[in-house]
A and B are shown apart, each in its own frame.
Chain A
Amino acid sequence: MPAKKLVELQISHIQKTFGKGKHAKKILKGAHIHLKPGECTLLSGKNGSGKSTLMRIIAGLLKPDSLQLAINQQQTSGRKACRLLRQQVMYLYQEAYMFDGSVMRNLSYALSEKNPQKLQSALRWADLEHRKDTQAKCLSGGEKQRLALAQAWLKRPGILLLDEPTANMDKHAKRRTGKLLGEFKQAGITLLIATHDLDHLLPIMDRRLILENGKLLEANKRGTLQTK
């Protein structure tokens, strides 16, 4: 895969509250995150701690209450920040959403121009050549994940966010996914992966963050919190 222009992302004072009045629940309480170019950061935290919310905010898909952003050291905020994030960041759901249509059609959505050769090479890369005419919604969980990764491979974002990419997979599929993610890292794409399943991702991990009480804490590889 050709190398990608490295992207550095710093987001601070991320706050997000769901609900209003008595039912308001503050999920993120001024979290700070610094994604260094080409690094792979693993994000863990209890269920419901706000990992998916944080990732959707970083991807520019969910509007935070407040946020300060610096992409490649350029400061910005507000709507422009969301737009910039959407341009640089790609977010993959835990269970990838497949649109109605074949694998090939779903893959083509990641390209802004028609390029059958690129599509073929992406299919080969994700080992989905034999499934190219299959309805994407009929793929297995592992195949859907590989198709989503192939879309990312084509789009080549500066930063790739993955929400539990190995959840509900067997060991073989987890190894395969781990290998594909390693190729993203080699290509210089910055990775942030929310996961409970560290074993298959430890080889590519550079840093580990834990989301606790709405804030991000730095931890070592074993998950022990480090003093800031």
Chain B
Amino acid sequence: MHSLSDSILEAFSLLFSGNAELWQIIGISFQISTTAILIAAIPAILIGFILAYTDFPGRRLLISIFNTLLAVPAVVVGLSLYIVLSRQGPLGEWHLLFTQTAMVLGQITLSFPILVAMSHSAFQSAEIRAWDTARTLSSNALRAFLIMLREVRFGLLGALLAAYGRIIAEVGASMMLGGNILHYTRNIPTAIALETSKGEFAQGIALGIILLLMSFLLTTVLHYLQGRGMLAHAR
């Protein structure tokens, strides 16, 4: 087993030498998580908007459900979808288990409650006068909705980044639904778990550095956007 300093040096060497396997794992991670966020974003933002500005029976219950789902562990989401997608499951005939599509489904399920809850908060922060003004100015509901999207854009971008941060680093659902297949479903967190279990720390550290950098970048952008959003509403 290498010493820690050797492993760190090797990790940087892997990153800067352009190791094909390592960068493919990083590519798969970003591809799957970006696809999941792109699919989940529009319906989740719409639901957040409806929960913020309309009143219907069961609205409060729905808000509570989405808030509860924020805390669901990734492995439970993985297990639930595994049962649904496995051969004996209701969607077994689709042969989705251990594919990138299954991983995308898992990440959509994980990111959806975060996107709904945070976009709901973003829309609510704009107060009802904003929505009334948008409706009274606009010739149709779509235009009013677009005005509101711009008004709460910093909050919504914050929701997207927070959800992205959650899914790119989750290991439970990806491992169960993707199966950690090299060149296909192995992403950053599942690769780290595998390499660490083999006692090969260098690749794990290299991927960990990427995740840390990603997390730093997301947090910095989020912090900046929240500041801009607060400034916009305080003016």
Report the Cα distance A31→B139, complex, angstroms: 28
Q: Contact check, A99 vs B150: say whether CB atoms are below 8 A apart.
A: yes
What's the least CB distance linking B143 to chain A, in Å? Answer: 7
Q: Which of A8-16, A90-98, A183-191 binds B?
A: A90-98
Give chain B residues whose Cβ lies under 8 Å from the Cβ of A202: none
What's the least CB distance linking A167 to chain B, in Å? Answer: 15
Q: How large is the interface on A (under 10, 10 to 19, 20 to 34, 35 or more residues)?
A: 20 to 34
Most buried by A among B130, B133, B138, B150: B133
Q: Contact check, B235 vs A135: say whether CB atoms are below 8 A apart.
A: yes
Q: Contact check, A99 vs B130: say whether CB atoms are below 8 A apart.
A: yes
Give chain A residues whose Cβ lies under 8 Å from the Cβ of B132: 56, 59, 61, 91, 93, 97
Of B133, B138, B139, B150, the residue contacting A97 (CB under 8 A) is B133
Give chain B residues whose Cβ lies under 8 Å from the Cβ of A91: 132, 136
Contact with A along B119-157 (1 / 0, CB 8 A): 000000001011011111111000100010011000000
Q: Contact check, A59 vs B136: say whether CB atoms are below 8 A apart.
A: yes
- Interface size, chain B (Cβ < 8 Å): 18
How many A-B residue pairs lie within 8 Å, measured between CB atoms? 51
Knowing A109-B137, A110-B137, A137-B235 are in contact, say whether A97-B129 is a contact too (CB < 8 A).
yes
CB-nearest residue of chain A relative to B147?
A109
Of B127, B134, B137, B150, the residue contacting A100 (CB under 8 A) is B150
Give chain A residues whose Cβ lies under 8 Å from the Cβ of B139: 87, 112
Give chain B residues whose Cβ lies under 8 Å from the Cβ of A90: 136-137
Q: Contact check, B135 vs A93: say whether CB atoms are below 8 A apart.
A: no
Give chain A residues whose Cβ lies under 8 Å from the Cβ of B147: 99, 109
Give chain B residues whose Cβ lies under 8 Å from the Cβ of A96: 133
Q: Give the interface of A toward B (CB within 8 A).
A: 56, 59, 61, 86-87, 89-93, 95-97, 99-101, 109-110, 112, 135, 137-138, 151, 155
